Structure 1
Amino acid sequence: KGQEIVKVLYTNTDFEYLQSIDRDLKDITYDMDVSYSSNRYIEFNHKGVNKGAGLKKLANLLHIDIQDTIAIGDNYNDLSMIKDAGLGVGVQNAAPGIKPDCDYITMATCEEGAVCEVIEKFVLKGE
């Protein structure tokens, strides 16, 4: 009591059910960022609190053009940073719904070295 709520998470392994919660709460969550993660969570954050905003802030603090960033993700809570990055990457086993917004899909899954694949392909470029 008396403390600000920073984030609300609700868990259920039925993704369709989580989406129905999102639809049912639209009237009261219009000013929030709602996303999904780990194939079992629906996340409610303050508007503007998402990974994309975090990436932009980090790039600004480091004086890096956002176009010179790479974001790698596998689920809906990664989508804002994938869209905001210069190169947005989805891993092979990413949620199907985020893949159309990715610039590149790795051959590897998140358990098989997807980050290494991206570094070799786009940072080291075979060097």
Structure 2
Amino acid sequence: MIQLIASDMDGTLLGKKMEVHAENIDAIHYAKEKGVKFVIATGRNYAEAITPLKEAGIECPIISANGAQAFDEAGNELFTIEIDKEIAKQIMNALNHDRVYYEICTQNSVYTNSMAQRVENMAIHVAHQIPHLTFKMAVAMASAQLDELPVTPIASYDELINNPEHKILKFIAFSHDEAEVLGPIRQVIETLDDVVVTSSYPNNIEINHHNAQKGIAVKQLADQLNIPLEQVMTIGDNFNDLSMLAIAGVSFAMGNAEQDVKETAKYITDLNTEGGVGKAIKRAIDENL
């Protein structure tokens, strides 16, 4: 019997307009009625994750920034795993050398040194989710989403590195030429100590402390709840979900998931736009997977 369900957000729990599908909401409440605990495991920071959940009336623990932080239902911090500042400087040097746009996530916010680049990257994401949109419409939608996805402009990332009050949780770098640009950068960064590089979309790489992975965080939460991994279910769609799909007794890939993700998961569910998370939850409970 499943006792704990961990779900990704973007491309998984959330639909095209970054909303939680009604079928997913119903299934989460159904799971809770059955005594099954539900947790979010996302690449977003806490502030980005909590907004659509509040709108959907979902209260649950949140694993954020790919496992760099975790919070209970009330928003109390459970743990934080930061990147060493000296390693962070080396990561910045690698990213700056190739002049790719990147953002930095701390315990306080996501920071950008170019709001125009931020909007452009969000527009590309929106256009990918809704192919019939013109890019101009995608930019308009991306600009509107800035109110829902808190981001802090900053003149120089050195302000974060040099301020001891800031904990560096994650870097996320973007490029339209993934193989040519991000591939070599990834190879350089992966040689650094105590870092892991994943991806949540084909046009980005995400850099965390090696221990800040969704799979590690889900296992830690399950251990705290005395729930064996055989009774844990995970749901995801992209490469930063692989670690939690690999450890769970029951794992679902979304119908829109990357092929490697589908091959890792034990089961495949419907698209994120068609309530795939809700269908997976009800199937797992009703069929006692």
Scaled by the length of structure 2, what TM-score is found?
Answer: 0.40
Q: Distance in 2 between matches of 1:112 and 1:15?
A: 29
Aligned mate of 2:230, from 48, 67, 72: 67
Query: Which stretch has the larger CA shift, 66-75 or 36-45?
Result: 36-45
In the alignment, structure 1 residue 48 sits paired with structure 2 residue 175: no
The residue aligned with 1:32 is: 195
In the alignment, structure 1 residue 113 sits paired with structure 2 residue 257: no
Q: Distance in 2 between matches of 1:80 and 1:98?
A: 10
- Does the residue aligned with 1:27 lie in a helix, a strand or coil? coil
Deviation sequence 1:29-63 (CA, Å, 0-9, x none): x5311100033321111111110011101111211
The residue aligned with 2:284 is: 122
- Does the residue aligned with 2:199 lie in a helix, a strand or coil? strand
Q: Distance in 1 between matches of 2:177 and 2:267?
A: 28
The residue aligned with 2:249 is: 86
- The higher radius of gyration belongs to 2
Q: Distance in 2 between matches of 1:52 and 1:26?
A: 19
Scaled by the length of structure 1, what TM-score is found?
Answer: 0.86
In structure 2, the gaps of 5 or more residues are 1-161
Q: CA RMSD in A?
A: 1.9
Aligned length: 124
Aligned mate of 2:263, from 96, 100, 108: 100
- Does the residue aligned with 1:83 lie in a helix, a strand or coil? helix
Between the two structures, name the one with larger relative contact order (CA 8 Å, sep ≥ 6): 2
Q: Distance in 1 between matches of 2:184 and 2:237?
A: 21
Shift of 1:66: 1.1
Q: Which amino acid aligns with 1:5?
A: I
In structure 1, the gaps of 5 or more residues are none
Q: Which amino acid aligns with 1:50?
A: Q
Q: What is the percentage of aligned positions where both structures have the same residue?
A: 32
